[in-house]
Amino acid sequence: MPRLSSQAGGAKRRAPLKVDELVSTAVRERNRPMSAYDLVEHLASQGEKVAPQQVYRSLGRLCSEGAVRRIESLHAYCAGGEDGGAILYCERCGALRFPSVAHLADALREHAQGAGFSTSRAVIELCGLCEQCSSAPSAWEEYQ
């Protein structure tokens, strides 16, 4: 297949490193959880049409390099925090925080091991409202 052939939907095939750079930059700049389709739409709005398959492959590479992290419970991606560290995200505005709580994952692994459970990885994700959103009235409260 030629390298610059047109894809369905007008997306051009780009070199993987170029796609990685676009995806990584978008995830870092937004600082909000982004799904693969959010990324496709965001890049298209920037004039960069990239096929969803290319974005998925790029996310796989960036995750394995540690440049991007997957938020399992949201099926989305973000940048920041330590690999395997906890993620807090705001359900209202999407703000992300990356608290340093490695001792929690260690304690959970130890507990699992004590129970005869062999773990392959730990995912600690908490959702709720960030400080700003929890002090602001919700749209429903403003309506009443």
- Residue 67 or 136: the one with the smaller Cβ distance to Zn ion is 136
Report DSSP letters for 21-90, one per residue. Answer: HHHHHHHHHH-S-B-HHHHHHHHHHTT----HHHHHHHHHHHHHHTSSEEEGGGTEEE--S-TT--EEEE
State the nearest-atom distance from the C-beta of 134 to Zn ion, in Å: 8
Report if residue 130 touches Zn ion, rule: CB under 5 A: yes
Report if residue 36 touches Zn ion, rule: CB under 5 A: no
Number of residues that bind Zn ion (CB under 5 A): 6
Among 92, 98, 109, 124, which residue sits at the site for Zn ion (rule: CB under 5 A)? 92
Residues 6+ apart with CB under 8 A from 47: none
Report if residue 87 touches Zn ion, rule: CB under 5 A: no
Interface contacts to Zn ion, rule CB under 5 A:
90, 92-93, 95, 130, 133
